[in-house]
Amino acid sequence: MMFEIGERKIGDGEKVFIVAELSSNHNNDFDIAVKTIEAVADCGADAVKLQTYTPDSMTINCDNEYFRINKGTIWDGKTLYGLYEEAYMPWEWQPELKEIAEDLGLVFFSSAFDRTSVDFLEKMDVPAYKIASFEITDLPLIKYIASKKKPMILSTGIASLCDIETAVNVCRRGGNEQLALLKCTSSYPSLPEEMNLKAIDNLKNTFKTVVGFSDHSTGITMAIASVALGANIIEKHVTLDKKLDGTDSIFSVEPETFKKLVKSVREVEKSFGVSEVIVTDTMKQNSMFGRSIFAVKDIKMGDRFSKENIRIIRPGNGLKPKYIKNIIGMVASKDIKKGTPLDWNMLG
């Protein structure tokens, strides 16, 4: 299972694709957006992702019970329109931010939320699209994005298995097989007991796609763990400074922590190896710390081996311990000094 964004291969056997999500952490300040992009590039991110919407493309300006947030979230008390008005990134910034990011070696792409944002991003020639978890049931949007024949990354947060299957089928029927799914928990912040990271393997086996993890926790432990469980993509919200108190800052990490995430993911990757059980050269060198059969007394040729004159001890230079029952009672074929490892030539 593999696909490409630009020249970057993503999938099993490749380096994990680490995406820094800028989200609303620009705090309506272009310079903060630029500095955040520069920071994540310095941290070793592979990509930076924005969100392309306006309040009016997301919802309507209405203050009745349906549009006021009161579900125990970090945004309670706001209206949907008010939240998006506070959080959205001006579209006129995005072409310049794309140029800055690409000059720094980052892949730049965005979440699209309606046809107008897709058309805008097409003019920018983004190399991929993200579908946010709350849009995974917007099949007309997914169909339209799939028609662009570019890689698509779909977050699965609020989706049932049936919802995911439907969205994947819409993409594939549209001739777009360049798909990745992100295991995602749509609570902000997400708690460890809500993560269900084992679903990563399920998603891979069920949909035969690249699978990653979109992390809304307050730290980086869950993202690192997801890599060990098979995640090929990591998406993490990054803020230049949590003191800026943006709408997403509580589940975002600062550059120093993001850098630790990147370093930890790269270390985990090195540990994968192969499925076969192997003994490395270093492990072979350390075999002396294992046990084997040694003469613990002087033994004359013709003497019988017994529990008194041979023992299983460290180091591991002699015959393996599993043979001791066979050796007890056998006759020594030569003189053996105390402290000598036994080998088959010593047995009569």
Given 206, 235, 270, the domain boundary residue is 270
Given 215, 235, 270, the domain boundary residue is 270
Pairwise pLDDT comparison (336 vs 245), residue with the higher score: 336
| 104 and 220 both lie in a single domain | yes
CATH of the domain at 318: 3.90.1210.10
Q: What is the DSSP letter of 79?
A: B
Output the average pLDDT for the chain: 94
| 181 and 318 both lie in a single domain | no
| 166 and 18 both lie in a single domain | yes
| 208 and 304 both lie in a single domain | no
Lowest mean pLDDT, pick from 27-31, 78-82, 112-116, 281-285: 281-285
Name every residue whose Cβ is closer than 8 Å to that of residue 68 and which is 6 or more positions away in sequence.
77, 78, 79, 80
| 314 and 340 both lie in a single domain | yes
pTM: 0.86
Dump strand ranges (E) for the chain.
2-5, 8-11, 17-21, 47-52, 107-112, 129-131, 152-155, 179-184, 210-215, 233-237, 292-295, 310-313
| 143 and 195 both lie in a single domain | yes
Residue 262's pLDDT band (cuts 50, 70, 90): very high
| 301 and 258 both lie in a single domain | no
Residue 278's pLDDT band (cuts 50, 70, 90): low
| 178 and 287 both lie in a single domain | no
| 156 and 259 both lie in a single domain | yes
In a domain, 246, yes or no: yes
In a domain, 63, yes or no: no
Number of domains in the chain: 2
| 261 and 285 both lie in a single domain | no
| 151 and 29 both lie in a single domain | yes
Pairwise pLDDT comparison (50 vs 86), residue with the higher score: 50
In a domain, 276, yes or no: no
Average pLDDT over residues 223-230: 96
Task: Give residue 322's region: left, alpha or beta (phi > 0; psi -120 to 50).
Answer: alpha
CATH of the domain at 118: 3.20.20.70
Pairwise pLDDT comparison (73 vs 209), residue with the higher score: 209
What confidence tens digit (pLDDT) does each residue in 324-339 have? 999 999 999 999 999 9
Q: Range of 328's domain?
A: 281-346
Given 270, 295, 320, the domain boundary residue is 270
Average pLDDT over residues 277-297: 81
